[in-house]
Amino acid sequence: MNKDGTKISFLLNKIDIDKLPKHVAIIMDGNGRWAKKRLLPRTAGHREGVERVKEIVEATGNLGIPYLTLYAFSTENWGRPKEEIDTLMKLLVEYLKKELNTLHMNNVRINILGNLDKLPALPREEVKNAIEKTKNNDKMNLNIALNYGGRNEIIDGIKSLISDVRVGDVILDEIDEELFRNYLFTKDQPDPDLLIRPSGEKRVSNFLLYQIAYTEFVFSDVYWPEFTTEELYKSLIEYQSRKRRFGGI
């Protein structure tokens, strides 16, 4: 076994399999800076970032973590240069075309958090196909946050809830946190136990604002294209070193 394999095995042995998070969320950040550091175009960083998606999805599934949410494209990302947006959409299509059968065979269900209506026709259809093909899988849920914004999610949920109150489907006095969860993209899913952000940035960037009230945060200094299985294991070890109180003592 090579040196990297030995280190990964060492880290894996430090992870308590009985205390793994049920839901891990990751803000995939730093593709552009990774590329700039190497005098490459930003698109090269995004392409390398897709390789990490493959690796981390596989590593998470092998550990038996049932929910993984990846922040792929925010509502604010539409403000980026058209060339970069086109590349991101192309990479999304490529990823689904290449990996969908493997994900399906591994019993992975693909969910989308976000509004698909604004996506170009081809990636929108590929995403819908992936959702349909994997809808009955139940080993692992892979959430892809696409054209997603946390504030928009909450506002849209409130609008839908108000509409249901008006027609009598929901009684105002019965509204509580559990009921409101049904109006979020993560309906029927546990809140993230762990949120990981590579790249050295320490902010949540409008991601899962309602769901991360008691989530543990781990910030990594490596860029997303460098976020390997080893880095995932380090984040899980850090998570397991903490005592979660949920507001208690």
Distance of CA 49 to the CA centre of its chain: 13
Q: Annotated catalytic residue: which of 2, 77, 169, 188?
A: 77
CB 104 within 8 Å of CB 137: yes
Rounded CA gap, 138 and 106, in Å?
Answer: 10
Residues 6+ apart with CB under 8 A from 238: 218
Rounded CA gap, 235 and 55, in Å?
Answer: 15
Residue 18 is among the residues annotated as catalytic for this protein? no
Residue 156 is among the residues annotated as catalytic for this protein? no
Q: Specify the pairing of strand 67-74 against strand 140-148.
A: parallel
Q: Annotated catalytic residue: which of 13, 29, 152, 176?
A: 29
Rg of the chain over all Cα atoms, to the nearest angstrom: 19
Distance of CA 210 to the CA centre of its chain: 15
Q: What is the DSSP letter of 222?
A: S
| Active site members | 29, 77
